[in-house]
Amino acid sequence: MELSVRIVSLDYYMAKPLPGLDVCFSPLEGTPVERVPIVRIFGSTPSGQKTCLHLHKVGGAAIGTLRTSSLPKLAAYRAAGATHLHGGC
């Protein structure tokens, strides 16, 4: 399935994670995730249909902060061959 959207505007907001869709637990911090970034894309399809897309699981390391106390844990994950961090709700 393919979706084509001409982007008119986009923004993001922070929301409570949805079980089964978002990361709900941070193995790096060892704590539940309270808020996750959701990107909204406003636009239209080639047929002219208006749309507002909510994109989950975006950002990760690009959005947020990393506590210096977490650096040894991050190094351990990378040494173990992990390419990304995730958790379940």
10-34 confidence digits (pLDDT tens): 999 999 999 988 989 988 888 999 9
- CA separation for the pair 83, 20 (Å, rounded): 20
What is the radius of gyration, based on Cα positions, of the chain?
16
CA atoms within 13 A on the CB side of 48: 0
Q: Is 90 exceeded by the pLDDT of residue 75?
A: no
Q: Which long-range contacts (CB under 8 A, 24 or more apart) does 53-59 make?
A: 53/5, 56/18, 56/21, 56/22, 57/21, 57/22, 57/23, 59/12
Q: What percent of the chain has pLDDT over 70?
A: 65
Q: What is the pLDDT of residues 33-52, one digit of tens each?
A: 999 989 999 999 999 999 99
Reported confidence tier of residue 88, pLDDT bands at 50, 70, 90:
very low
- CA torsion, points 53, 57, 59, 65, in degrees to nearest 10? 130
